[in-house]
Amino acid sequence: MVALLRYLDDNSGERYVVIFDDLKRYARDTLFHLALRAEMEKRGASRECLNFNFDDTPEGKFVETIFAAQSELEREQNGRQVVQKMRARVEQGFWCFRAPIGFKYVQGKRGGKVLVHDELAPVVKEALEGFATGRFQTQAEVGRFLELCADFPKDAPEGKIRPQTIARFLRKEVYAGLVSAPAWGVSPRPGQHEGIITLQTFERIQARLNEEAYAPQRSDLNTEFPLRGAIACASCGTPLTAGMCKGKYRKYPYYFCRKKGCTAYGKAIRREKIEGEFRALLDDLRPSALYVNALATLFRDAWDRRMEIAAASLEGFQREAALIEKKIAELVDRVVDATNARVVSAYEDRIETLERERLILAEKAAQVAKPRYSFETLFELSLRFLANPCSFWDSGLLSYRRLLLRLTFSETLAYCRESGFRTPNTTLPFKALGSFFGCSGEMVLLERIELSTSPLPRECSTPELQQRATKGGGRIARRLPREKARTCG
């Protein structure tokens, strides 16, 4: 209708007849109907309808107003019926709004449409789990990751995603298998669809969103300077910046310090030099295959122990869920007896919190009963990374290289132009491995270090060594006087 009025304004020199196939197509709101009639009369346009005769008499205007009111009544009744049906659908656990990214609608077996995963579900899963685990420290990093996916819909110019879109994306309960409709008074409940992430992962995401904000990752990071911001000047501690310096025939990449007053201020470091030394530093961190195999054995033993503990804790989860069910039933009885609106609202909030806890316990019990992933699936990539961190660097992918820096070093690396990298502060896995391969690597002999090489008596930790000492040096010790042997001992 707005476009129609604009067209009439643009062609004000001509007279038009506006034709409607039905009066309901003219307007379904009484006030809007009367206002639209006045606007068309102002522009000199006449109205025609196939099943209604417009009449400018008082009786004709009255009948037209009655028909407009009837159309408004039908519109509001239809809207009420739609809301009632959609609310009932949500209460049964069905999502009845626009399908979120990563889902699509298919015809359900019990009628209606249900959500199923589509081709973008793995991308959504990686983004959500990456934010929950800390792989993506900020919402901006999640946005950059999603922008790299060509099929992920963009809502900003130049293939970008708006920050508010990422914020809504991280707070959608439907990805955890829940449905809700707060505007209709429907609290979160398990949905009839399979979630892309677990409820525990969703709760970790919400906890991270409620924490203090991190400094966003630099937007100027690129494949040409992957170490920008990860290496600091050894003289002043300021992170090194990088850029292309113009030469006579072409540009050359350099890292340099921009802290005024620093002794290294403005002194460039060739990219080949600093990245080559960094590659050698990673190579020094690589343990031998012996220690990696030993670490894999430790992981396997820890996995087996955790599986035993998980099996024992299954009964605990079930008991806690039963207690929560009992509390919910008691609160429901109190809500029925309560008359104060504020008390009822407090009870409802408490019931919603307990219901969420019950869902988390049910999810934990399901995971304990049957792990989602095998040991090899969970630890294969981690062991490959620990065995050869250089492989992530040699891949050439900026995301892998930044992940390598985050997993390997716990703080910024200090670099000196003359002596190179200072002693790095590595993360816990590399510190644990370094405590092993930092020694000579020789195994302790079977004789044990307690074996006495002196004729004097010594305390032995095992009966076997005591017998060996008795056969050897012990006989010499018995020939000595008791007082002298005590003194020498």
Distance CA 470, CA 457 (A): 9
Cα atoms found within 13 Å of the Cα of residue 350, Cβ hemisphere only: 16
Domains and CATH numbers, the chain: 2-91 (no CATH), 103-209 (3.90.1750.20), 231-286+388-437 (no CATH), 289-382 (no CATH), 449-489 (no CATH)
3-state secondary structure of 459: coil
Helices marked H in 189-340 = 199-209, 271-285, 289-337
Report if pTM > 0.75. Answer: no
Question: Quick check: 419 and 431 in contact, CB under 8 A?
Answer: no
Mean pLDDT by 10 residues, the chain (489 residues): 89 87 78 86 86 79 84 87 91 90 88 88 92 86 88 86 92 91 87 89 90 53 76 86 82 85 84 87 81 79 76 72 81 76 78 78 67 72 80 81 82 85 83 58 48 50 50 41 41
Please report the pLDDT score of residue 472 as a whole number: 45
The pLDDT, as a whole number, for residue 402 is 80
